[in-house]
Amino acid sequence: MSGFVHKTIGQVIRETAACYPQNLALIHPEFGVRQNYRDFYDNCKAIAKGLMAIGVKRGDNVSVWTTNIPEWVYLQFALGMIGGVLVTVNTSYQSHELEYILKQSDSTTLFLMESYRDTSFYETARRIIPELDVCEPGRLVSEKLPLMKTVIFIGPREVTPGMFHFKDFINMGKNITDQELNDRMKSLDDHDVINMQYTSGTTGFPKGVMLTHHNVVNNGRMVGDVMGMTEKDSLLIQVPLFHCFGCVMSTMNCVYHGSTMVVLEFFDPAKALQMIAAERCTAVNGVPTMFVAMLNHPDFERYDLQSLRTGIMAGAPCPEETMNQVRTKMHCEEVVIAFGQTESAPVMTMTRRDDPVELRVATVGRLLPDIEGKIVDPESGKDLPDDVQGEIVTRSACVMKGYYKMPEATAEAIDRDGWLHTGDLGEVDKNGYFKVTGRIKDMIIRGGENIYPREIEEFLYKHPKVVSVQVIGIPDKKYGEQVLAAIQLKDGQRATPEEFSEFCKGKIARHKIPKYWEFVDTFPMTASGKIQKYKMKETFARKYKN
């Protein structure tokens, strides 16, 4: 595979800082950050030394639970420099999900901020790890999380029992020499795992997708090449950094190409428009609902967006009208569509900047260079001809190493010949343009977030009134799909939707809580006793047509 580069994340940031020291690297107006690549690299180095000082070794798993704050970006590159594995934690997670991920990932270290929306990350962590009250920072002994040793708090709170403050952690790094850091950087291999993203599992439990320097660097490089990114570009990053859309297609893409990262803590259409105009952004990434929210903002006309040139729309199908408005009203003439999944780091196909609009709306583009993809019969695994629907599979040096500590699930996803089975149905035309037509799996995609019914079902079974539960996705104009739970109650029990919504609050992420609740006596079944979810979908889609 001649086109792939062999670089660690540390090498990439070092080279970019050497090439473009004065170029702006990170702009984060909400935190007063405006740094060129030299200063950005120095910051990452200071944090890398802090990580070494608290004992993070090559291959140690480090969880980061914050919104898109500057420290998230520094930690991504600092961990890359020392070979620590960044375990990304979704900001919507609640106690049940956080505990599972910290435990399943064998994380030794957790970085967290105060709170987001109505969830206190600080209190949630203390509930899961009560030993923080009595331990010295860095010397945690937790019954539930035997490998967790260190918790680091990012924020202004004065007293944080059992946790280091971020500034103290950086001070500790001053004892580490440049030589020690360089030696660590030299010891790394670009095929080391560097990033672990948790995707909800069809088995009911999220799986840790192990991505390497090689996966992430090359995918970020190729995505930026298709967008035409250079050191003259600046990208508005409003998608969450804990997804590949944020930390590969956005931050890694920028740092590889010497472009500027303009970061929003979380998506807000007014702030997005304001920042594009104020910082003269040339690119903007987002899921279609973000673009729709920006276009429909009452103050849209007040902002000059003529600096925009390109961007990526991904995570859900793009309506033609939205694509046309992004191109004309937002001046994003070269906006492209990307398709893939976390397991392929993430992008496998993209439309090209000069593709006609019809192709940019009706397809998800062509394969990236050096990435293979084809359509196979989901039953037999045999290759299918052009324009015939089957499963989309891909093979390349961007495919994950596997799921952390889940060999069976890995073998199910990646076959003996190295093909990753996406579970998406699609077809490819004679010019190599792929179309996504549906999904083999039950996965629900709501506003760009992947939701696996099994995970919600497992959780709802804990409710004392439930006999059986089936979770499905039904079409929704705004979000693509909404979550519906059909529940069979125990004999003699009665329940309300409000009671079940309340049961979920604070325990599972807000976007996973069903919008619709149906109480049923029976489920449609096949002759062999399998529940026919597709029939339920048809019935409830008609009922809730919007």
pLDDT per residue as tens digits for the range 86-137? 999 999 899 999 999 999 999 999 999 999 999 999 999 999 999 999 999 9
Domain at 451-543, CATH homologous superfamily: ANL, C-terminal domain (3.30.300.30)
Cα torsion 52, 57, 59, 65 to 10°: value is -50
Cis peptide before 497 (omega within 30 of 0): no
pLDDT > 90: what percent of the chain?
83
Alpha-carbon distance values, 307 to 118, 257, 264, 268, 295 (Å) = 36, 18, 18, 20, 16
Structure tokens at 161: 């029992």
- Residue 40: the pLDDT is 98
Helix locations, 26-177, DSSP H: 37-53, 70-82, 95-104, 121-128, 166-172
Report the alpha-carbon distance of residue 463 to residue 107 in Å, rounded. Answer: 30
Confidence of residue 203 (pLDDT cuts 50, 70, 90): very low
Confidence of residue 315 (pLDDT cuts 50, 70, 90): confident
- Residue 449: the pLDDT is 87
Average of pLDDT values for 209-217?
Answer: 98
Statement: residue 199 has pLDDT above 90: no
- Residue 90: the pLDDT is 93
Structure tokens at 361: 């709306």
- Residue 527: the pLDDT is 57
User: What's the chain's average pLDDT?
Assistant: 94
pLDDT > 70: what percent of the chain?
98
Average of pLDDT values for 374-397?
Answer: 94
Report the alpha-carbon distance of residue 482 to residue 445 in Å, rounded. Answer: 8
Report the alpha-carbon distance of residue 97 to residue 176 in Å, rounded. Answer: 35
| Coil/strand/helix, residue 88 | strand
Average of pLDDT values for 158-167?
Answer: 96
- Residue 529: the pLDDT is 55
- Residue 139: the pLDDT is 97
* Pairing relationship of beta strands 466-476 and 420-428 according to DSSP bridges: unpaired
- Residue 526: the pLDDT is 57
Average of pLDDT values for 310-338?
Answer: 91
Segments of the chain assigned to CATH 3.40.50.12780: 9-328
Segments of the chain assigned to CATH 3.30.300.30: 451-543
Instruction: Write down the pTM of the prediction.
Output: 0.87
One-letter identity of residue 528: S
Q: 275 phi and psi, to 5 degrees?
A: -75, -35
Structure tokens at 398: 């961007």
Residues 378, 386 contacting (CB under 8 angstroms): no
- Residue 316: the pLDDT is 72
- Residue 1: the pLDDT is 40
CATH number assigned to the domain with residue range 9-328, chosen from the 4 options 3.40.50.12780, 3.40.50.1820, 3.20.20.140, 3.40.228.10: 3.40.50.12780
- Residue 16: the pLDDT is 98
Statement: residue 530 has pLDDT above 70: no
Report the alpha-carbon distance of residue 405 to residue 150 in Å, rounded. Answer: 22
| Coil/strand/helix, residue 356 | coil
Structure tokens at 481: 């799909």
pLDDT tens readout for residues 269-298 = 999 999 999 999 999 999 888 998 999 999
Confidence of residue 473 (pLDDT cuts 50, 70, 90): very high
Statement: residue 2 has pLDDT above 70: no
Confidence of residue 202 (pLDDT cuts 50, 70, 90): very low
* Tokens 């339920």, residue located: 536
Statement: residue 332 has pLDDT above 70: yes
Identify the CA nearest to 8 among candidates 145, 185, 238. 185
pLDDT tens readout for residues 31-66 = 999 999 999 999 999 999 999 999 999 999 999 999
- Residue 404: the pLDDT is 98
